[in-house]
Structure 1
Amino acid sequence: MAASPSASPPLERNVLSLAIADRPEAARRLSLADLQRLPPQTYAAMLPAEERISRWQGVPLNQLFDGAELGRSKRLRVDALNDYSALIPLSDLDTYQPILAYRRDDHYIGISERGPLFIIYPLVKHPELRTQVYFNRTVWQVSRITLE
């Protein structure tokens, strides 16, 4: 599914909720503009049902939470707009550095293209990730990430 060169989304609209289990006071919401202020990473990846490689740009997941908070936790729970959820072990953040992508092939990802946020692993660089386990962790339409 190709990203369309449609108009840019409102960058100040909140698109992501971040939470820490058992710490409701730490919850926060981020806009695309907030995410773009963080140092970006770009990966080449082909999604399971597609036959083309895309260039994905986003924020490494390990940049979304303070390092001290990561140290006390074991995984991320990623929830999507369509009620799908996946668990990502924190070991993936160190080993493969998945990103929360907000651009695909230099375009913002619309909701109709399974955006605006997408978990992407470096599937081209690490072909061993092309398994159902990692495909299940490649969540689209990400709306909430909880540190558990």
Structure 2
Amino acid sequence: MRRLVLVGLTALPIGGATLAQGLDANALPAPQGPVVLAVQGAISRFNAEGAALFDMEMLKALPPARLDTTTAVTDGLRRFDGFLMRDLLELVGAQGDTLTAGALNDYAIDIRIEEFNRFDVLVAYAMDGTALHPSDKGPLWIVYPRDQHAALQDIRYDYRWVWQLRWLDIR
């Protein structure tokens, strides 16, 4: 699997993924700030060779979503602000059945894309009105609406709450 390795908040090309030249009309705009998320694999919209790279402002331009839920790793009800994963997948033209979500600490897990259509899964960039930082599960955290669906309170879903999210590989 070819993936972009992100060091700090800068994308370094690995396996031939470099900023593309002469992108077509279906291309995404290039990030203007530090890259916080790389999406690759079975996608149809790019702004780099074989990848879609996003800075925080690009992600905040997606339709905003809010979720109030408890988590397995925090106390009490928390409010998360971000965007729906399915909106991001639609933006990049995801064409696969599964994605691998990878974190800053090299944690990675496979998730069926169908889950993002079935549930309003958020990619959060703020909790309780405060921006998420790498020292506190940020800058991005996959958050499931666990309080709204009893099935999501199963521990198998807790493993899918990827904090410090850095990359997605669609297949």
Shift of 1:68: 8.8
Equivalent in the alignment of 1:129: 152
**Distance in 2 between residues matched to 1:31 and 1:67, nearest whole Å:** 14
One-letter code aligned to 2:113: L
Equivalent in the alignment of 2:138: 115
Q: TM-score, normalised by structure 2?
A: 0.73
**Distance in 1 between residues matched to 2:50 and 2:87, nearest whole Å:** 15
* Contact 1:81-1:143 at 8 Å conserved across structures: yes
* Contact 1:44-1:123 at 8 Å conserved across structures: no
Consecutive aligned runs of 4 or more in structure 1 exceeding 4 Å deviation:
21-24
Equivalent in the alignment of 1:14: 35
What is the aligned length?
A: 137
Equivalent in the alignment of 1:39: 63
Q: Could you say what secondary structure the match of 2:151 adopts?
A: helix
Deviations 1:30-87 (A, max 9, x none): 01100110101111122213331110011111111337943x4111110000010111
Deviates more, 1:46-55 or 1:113-122: 46-55
> Does residue 96 of structure 1 match 2:119?
yes
* Contact 2:42-2:96 at 8 Å conserved across structures: no
Given candidates 28, 35, 38, the residue that maps to 2:52 is 28
Bigger radius of gyration, 1 or 2?
2
**Distance in 1 between residues matched to 2:125 and 2:144, nearest whole Å:** 14
Q: Could you say what secondary structure the match of 1:64 adopts?
A: helix
Equivalent in the alignment of 1:86: 109
Shift of 1:144: 0.2
Deviates more, 1:120-129 or 1:109-118: 120-129
Task: Map residues 50-65 of structure 1 onto 2, 5 A cutoff.
Answer: 50-65=74-89
**Distance in 1 between residues matched to 2:82 and 2:43, nearest whole Å:** 27
- Higher RCO (C-alpha under 8 Å, 6+ residues apart): 1
Equivalent in the alignment of 1:106: 129
Percentage of pairs with the same residue:
26
Q: TM-score, normalised by structure 1?
A: 0.83
One-letter code aligned to 1:120: V
Q: Which has the higher helix share?
A: 1
Given candidates 100, 103, 125, the residue that maps to 1:77 is 100
Shift of 1:105: 0.7
> Does residue 139 of structure 1 match 2:158?
no
Shift of 1:22: 8.9
Shift of 1:15: 0.5
